[in-house]
Structure 1
Amino acid sequence: MAKTTFWDVIEKTIEKVGTPLSAKEIWDNANEIGTIGDFTTNGKTPWATIAAYCYVDINNNGEDSIVIQTSERPAQFFLRKLATKTDVEKLQKQKDTEQIKKEKVEPKKFNERDLHPIVVSYASVDTHFKANLKTIYHENSNKTTKGQNEWLHPDLVGVYFPFKDYTTETREIQDYLKISSIKLFSFELKINLNFSNLRQSFFQAVSNSSWANEGYLVTLNLDDDPTFRDEIRRLNNAFGIGLIKLNADNAYESEILFPSKINQEIDWDTVNRLANENVDFSDFLKLITEDCKLGKVKSQYDKILKPDELI
C-alpha cells in the first residue's frame, strides 16, 4: 500500500473541510480530522512545505493546477476540482466572517503585562542577552498633548553588564580606552501578531526601540503563514527591528526568529527624551549608573521569577 504523501494530505484535508485553507490550517486540520493518515515528516514546519507544494503547483501548472489560491494575506488554497462546483468567493467570505466572529468572542488568556515576567526570565538566561530588564509603565509618563508621546515608550528595557564575562583587568583596560561592553535593549510586546496588525506593531517598535543597541518586537502568538514570515523578513531587513517568539509554557524556549540590527551607537537624544518623560526610564538609567560604579549588579530591576512562578 502506497504511503501517504504531502499531496494526499493537502487534497484529502481541503476536500473534507470544504473551505479554503491556509497551509497551517491544512496541517492542523489534517491532524485533527485524521486525513494525515500514516504520513510522517522530519521537518519542523511541515505547513511551510505544504505552502511550497501549493505555490509550485499553481506556478508550474497554471489552469491545470490541483489547487487554486483564493486569498493573498493570509494565503489560502482550495481544490480546483471543487471550485467548478462551488462558489469559492462565497465560501471565502463565509470563512472570513466566521473568523472575525471567533476573534471577537474568543476570550483572551493573556494581556500584555502578563508577558513581562516571561520576557524578563527569558532575557536573563538567554546567552544572546544575559540582561536585566525593567518595565516602563506608560501611565507614569508626563501628561502631554494627545499624540505627542505616541509610540515613544517601549514596554521593557534591558541592560547587559560584562561583569561576569570579563575579568577586572579586561574591564579596566576597556575603561582606559573608553570602550564599553554594556549593551542596552528595548522591547515592544504584543499578544498576537498577524497581517492585520503587523505594520502598525512593527513601526511602533521602530519608533520606540530603535534608540537601543538592539530593538525587538516580541509576540506570544504568531501567524504561521509563510507569506507572513516573508513580510516580517522584509521589514526586518529594511528597519532592523528583531522579532522574538515567546513560549508561555517554557519561557526559556522562547527564541529570536529574526535578529535585531546591532547599533554601535545609542540614540542619546531619544534616551534623554524618554528620561525626561518617564520616571521608570529615568530610574532605569540611575540603576545602570549605580551598578557600573559598583562593578556588579546590585540594583532592583524586574524580579526574575522561578519557572513554577511563571504563567
Structure 2
Amino acid sequence: MKQADIDIVVEVLKIIGEPINPNHIYAKAQELHQHGEIKHMFQWDGKTPWATCNSAIVTALKKNPDKLPFVKVQAKPALIALKGQDFPPPKPTSKEQPPKDLICKERDLHPRLSYIAYHQWGLYTKTIYHEESKKTKKGIDKWIYPDMVGVFFAYKDFKSPNVHSFIKKFDTLPIKLVSFELKKELTLINCREAYFQAISNSSWAHEGYLVAGTLDRNNKDLMELLKQLNQSFGIGVITLDIKSIGQSAILFNSKEEDNLDYQTLAKLAQRNENFDKFLKSVADFEIDNPERYEKEFDSILKDLPSLN
C-alpha cells in the first residue's frame, strides 16, 4: 500500500475518531475531501475504487501489520482504528442475528418493492430476470433491462360496469407502465451511474424509478445530486429502507411520459420472455376477475417483516 494512501487512511481515522469498516474508508475520504477537511484523495481508477481501497487495506494488514499506523480492532464486521487511539470498545455483534442490511442481496429487495408497490400505489409488479434473456454480443444490451416492471390499472377503481364498457368502446384503457432499477445501496459513489442506468432501461415506460435499499437522507450532497438529476431527467427515486418498511417513501416523483416507446417495448419482448409475458398479462387482464391473473405477476406477501 502506497504511503500516500496510508496517509489518507490515517487522516480519515483521526477525523472520525472511532473504528470504521475498511470498506467504508473510500466513501468517507471522498466526503471529507469534498468538504475540504482532507487535502488529498485516493487516485484509484476503475468502476469500484471503494473495493480497491478495501482490498489494499486488508492486504496491507495481512502482510505488514507492524509497519502500519492503524490496526484491525474487530473481525466481524471488520473494523480498523489508529494504533493507540482512545475510543469506546466496539459494540458486540449478535451471532444469532447478524446485521441483515449488510447481507441483504439486491434480489432480496424485490418482494419488498412488490409489497409496497401493491399496498401503497396499487401496482402489480413482475421481476425481469436478465439472465434469462436471449444471448447477444457482449455489451449490446447493457442497461436495457429493468430489474422490475409494474402496471397500474387506473380503471380498476371505477365501480360501474357501464364505465368499463364506455372506456373499452370509446377510449384506450387507462393504465400506467412503470420501470424500476433497484440498488442495494445508493451513495455519492454509485449515484450517477445508477441513475443513468435507470434512465436507459426505462425509456419504454410511462414512469421510471431508481429504487435504493439503503440511502442516507441526511447526506446533503447526495440528496442535492438526486434532486438535480431528477429535475434534469425526470427519473424518480424511491427508498425502500430495508431496516424499516414503514419508512419507505418516494423521495422524488417520476416525470410521467404520455406515450410509450413501442420500438423498445418490442425489443425487450423479443429478447426477454419475462417481459413478453408481462405485456400479455397486462393486455389480457380482466378487471372483474383480477385473481385469475395473480400468478402472472410477482406474488404479494401477506406480511413483510422488518429487517430490524
TM-score by length of 1: 0.66
1:183 has 2:176 as partner: yes
The match for 1:123 among 101, 113, 117 is: 117
> Relative to 1, partners in 2 of residues 1:230 and 1:99: Cα closer, same or farther, differing over 3 Å?
farther
DSSP-derived class of the 2:172 partner: coil
Structure 2 CA distance for partners of 1:295 and 1:169, relative to 1, 3 Å: farther
In 1, the alpha carbon distance for the partners of 2:141 and 2:156 equals 37
**Is 1:219 the counterpart of 2:212 in the alignment?**
yes
1:91-129 deviation line (CA, Å, top 9, x unaligned)? x87xx9999539987694111111000000000011xx3
Paired residues of 2:211 and 2:239 also in contact (CA < 8 A): yes
Cα offset, 1:174, TM superposition: 2.1
Aligned Cα root-mean-square deviation (Å)? 3.2
2:21 is the counterpart of 1:89: no
Of 120, 137, 140, the match for 2:132: 140
Instruction: Tell me whether 290-299 or 172-181 shows the greater mean CA deviation.
Output: 290-299
Q: Is the counterpart of residue 304 in structure 1 residue 300 in structure 2?
A: yes
- Equivalent-residue separation in structure 1 for 2:260 and 2:148 (angstroms): 16
Instruction: Report the CA distance shift for 1:292/1:310 in structure 2 as closer, same or farther (over 3 A).
Output: farther
- The amino acid of 1:137's aligned partner reads Y
- Name the counterpart of 1:101: 54
C-alpha separation in 1, matches of 2:215 and 2:304: 25
Q: Which amino acid aligns with 2:151?
A: V
Name which of structure 1's ranges 234-243 and 224-233 shifts more when overlaid on structure 2: 224-233
Extract unaligned runs of 5+ from structure 2. 1-12, 19-28, 43-48, 59-76, 79-100
Note if 1:244 corresponds to 2:238.
Answer: yes
**Do the aligned partners of residues 310 and 133 (structure 1) sit closer, same or farther apart at CA in structure 2, a change above 3 Å counting?**
farther
Conservation of the 8 A alpha-carbon contact between 2:202 and 2:208? yes
When residues 308 and 115 of structure 1 are mapped into structure 2, their CA distance, relative to the original with a 3 A threshold, is: closer
1:269-280, aligned counterparts within 5 Å?
A: 269-280=263-274
| 1:45-82 Cα distance to aligned partner (Å, 9 max, x none) | xxxxxxxxxxxxxxxxxxxxxxxxx966775475xxxx
2:146 to 154, 169, 173: 154
Question: Kindly tell me: are residues 286 and 74 of structure 1, through their superposed partners in 2, closer, same or farther at Cα, counting changes over 3 Å?
Answer: farther
- 3-state SS of the aligned residue for 1:219? strand
Preserved contact between residue 212 and residue 263 of structure 1 (Cα < 8 Å): yes
Which one-letter code corresponds to 1:266 in the other structure?
A: L
How far off its partner does 1:309 sit?
5.8
Following TM superposition, by how much is the alpha carbon of 1:195 offset from its aligned partner in structure 2, in angstroms? 1.5
CA distance in 2 between partners of 1:181 and 1:116 (Å): 26
Q: Give the whole-Å Cα distance in 2 for the aligned partners of 1:18 and 1:164.
A: 59
Q: Is the 8 A contact 1:74 1:227 kept in 2?
A: no
| 2:199 matched residue in structure 1 | 206
Following TM superposition, by how much is the alpha carbon of 1:199 offset from its aligned partner in structure 2, in angstroms?
Answer: 1.1
| Residue number in structure 1 paired with 2:279 | 285
User: 1:303 Cα shift?
Assistant: 0.7
Give the aligned partner of residue 192 of structure 1: 185
Offset at 1:181?
Answer: 1.4
- Compute the displacement of 1:184 (Å): 0.7
Q: Distance in 1 between matches of 2:305 and 2:16?
A: 41
Counterpart Cα distance in 2 of 1:153 and 1:97? 26
Separation in 2, partners of 1:201, 1:182 = 27
Classify the secondary structure of the residue corresponding to 2:173: coil
**2:183 alignment partner, SS class:** strand
Q: Which runs of 5+ in 1 are unaligned?
A: 1-16, 26-69, 79-87
- AA paired with 2:54? K
Task: Provide Cα deviations, 1:220-259, integer angstroms capped at 9, x if missing partner.
Answer: 1114321211111111111110000002244354110000
Letter of the 1:158 counterpart: G
TM-score between both structures, scaled by the size of structure 2: 0.67
Quick check: 1:74–1:195 contact (8 Å CA) kept in 2?
no
Label 1:73 to 1:294 Cα distance change in 2 as closer, same or farther (>3 A). farther
**Paired residue total:** 234
Q: Residues 227, 249 of structure 1: CA spacing in aligned structure 2 closer, same or farther, 3 A cutoff?
A: closer
Aligned to 1:230: 224
SS of match in other structure, 1:232: helix
